[in-house]
Amino acid sequence: MAGIYVHIPFCKSKCSYCDFASFPDKLCYAESYMACVYREMAKRKDELKGYEFDTLYIGGGTPSVIDEKYVAMLLASARKNFKLSENAEITIEVNPGTVSAGKIALYKKCGVNRFSVGLQAAQDNLLADLGRIHNLKDFLSCAKLLKGENFSADVMFGLKNQTAADLEKTIEIAAEAGASHISAYALTPEDGTPVYTDYLNGELPDGDEVAALYEAGLKKLRALGYERYEVSNFCKKGRQSRHNLNYWDRGEYIGFGVSASSHINNVRFTNTFDLDEYFKCILSDNFAVVDSEKIDEEGREEEYIMLRLRTAAGIDLAKFKSLFGADFKAKYSAQMKKLSGSLDADEKTVKIKDEYLFVQNSVIVEFFD
């Protein structure tokens, strides 16, 4: 299994928590940018000849902010250069404030079969605080357009002035609107963003309060029939994000566009975050990779443990053995003993206990050298 990721670094305005590569004032470069992405794909064609791609994910930024014809051309370009499975999962992130019936129709027509909608919160005051360009009404209209589609809603918790009731209400609204999948992320105040200032001023809920919100959200999600398959990801039966599952399986993926990361043949590499530099590299017929790291055997194992323990399924012992040639339980017997209170182990799997998934770092680091 392998995935393709395409990064669209444009948006209408920057959200107060966002530290991704996204440039609200550079939308006018969208056409040139997309041309470069197509070109970057063509340059990877030979190298990835042997791969069959099972997922394609268009993320951002706000991919729905650019003209939908570029998305159509993007998918055409992907198909032209790479082997895309017949039943590939093709996802696009959309902002509820930027969609129209025509846009959705074209996305579907060219093969998009999964949508990720940035709801974040169902309270307009919270949305305004986050600097989101949409309100609840926009989300509801967007959901109407996506009726019957496989769509996911992103929600956030740990926001300034957010109550557990707010979070529960948000989840209810997403469920009622028909989301088959909900991602619930704790707000992470990154240095340099406006919410970091809130954090420095003590205006954000502390760790215990965030944990309480998470527990309330988890309870609500389960009550509504969403199962947790990763610490932040919940879905109706069979509706996992295949693209993300691949990440947590240490799968291979190729990224295109500014800041996109890739993992091919045990090398992890990342494109430049600088839009001008990206243009320069691609137009001079080069790649735009700025960071590249070959992952050694030990690093692979640590990554695998770190990623698998994020998931509810945990580590498949047989798969671990086939990948690393070792018996997990025997190799990590000291950790297994020390962490017996927080791990669930049986013949086939080792996973973090349900109630410890939100403190997983303390568990995971025990497996690091």
Chain positions contacting another protein, by CB under 8 A: 5, 185-188, 207-208, 210-212, 214, 231-232, 244, 247-248, 253, 255, 259-263, 268, 270, 291, 293, 302-303, 306-307, 310, 338-339, 341-342, 356-365, 368-369
Q: Which two tokens stand for residue 330?
A: 């025997």
CB of 278 to another protein, least distance (A): 14
| Burial (CB count within 10 angstroms: exposed 0-12, middle 13-18, buried 19+), residue 4 | buried
Region at 114 (left for phi over 0; alpha for psi -120 to 50; beta for the rest)? beta
- DSSP 8-state secondary structure symbol assigned to residue 279: H
Q: Could you tell me the two tokens for 89?
A: 């999962």
> CB of residue 319 vs another protein: minimum separation in angstroms?
18
Shortest Cβ 311–another protein spacing (Å)? 10
Instruction: Rank residues 208 and 347 by Cβ distance to another protein and give the closer one.
Output: 208
- Give the nearer residue to another protein in terms of CB position, either 104 or 213: 213
Which positions ≥6 away from 70 have C-beta within 8 Å?
30, 31, 34
Q: Which is nearer to another protein, 120 or 259 (CB)?
A: 259
Minimum distance between the CB of residue 198 and another protein, rounded to whole angstroms? 16
Structure letter (DSSP) for residue 226: P
Write down the least CB distance from residue 320 to another protein, Å: 18
Cβ closest to another protein, residue 176 vs residue 298: 298
Residue number with CB closer to another protein (31 or 190): 190
265 Cα distance to chain centroid: 21
Q: How far is the CB of 28 from another protein (least distance, A)?
A: 25
User: Do the beta carbons of residue 59 and residue 5 sit within 8 Å?
Assistant: yes
The least distance separating another protein from the CB of residue 67, rounded to whole angstroms, comes to 25
Joined together, the tokens standing for residue 259 give 């800041």
Q: Are 82 and 51 in contact (CB under 8 A)?
A: yes
Residue number with CB closer to another protein (105 or 359): 359
Nearer to another protein, 64 or 241 (CB): 241
What secondary structure does DSSP assign to 41-87, as a single string? HHHHTTTTTT-EEEEEEEEES-GGGS-HHHHHHHHHHHHHHSEEEEE
* CB 60 within 8 Å of CB 27: no
Cβ closest to another protein, residue 80 vs residue 294: 294
Smallest distance from the beta carbon of 105 to another protein, in angstroms? 28
| Smallest separation, CB 313 to another protein (Å) | 15
Measured CA to CA, the distance from residue 149 to residue 242 in angstroms comes to 16
362 token code pair: 């303390």
For 291, the token pair is 């960071």
CB of 142 to another protein, least distance (A): 22
H-state helical runs in the chain: 30-44, 68-81, 101-109, 124-130, 136-145, 164-176, 194-200, 207-223, 242-247, 275-283, 297-308, 317-324, 328-331, 333-338, 360-364
The total of other beta-carbon atoms located within 10 Å of residue 7's CB is: 25
Buried b (16+ CB within 10 A) or exposed e, 349-365: bbbbeeebbbeeeebbe
Q: Choose between 177 and 364: whose C-beta lies nearer to another protein.
A: 364
Is the Cβ of residue 145 or residue 350 nearer to another protein in the bound state? 350
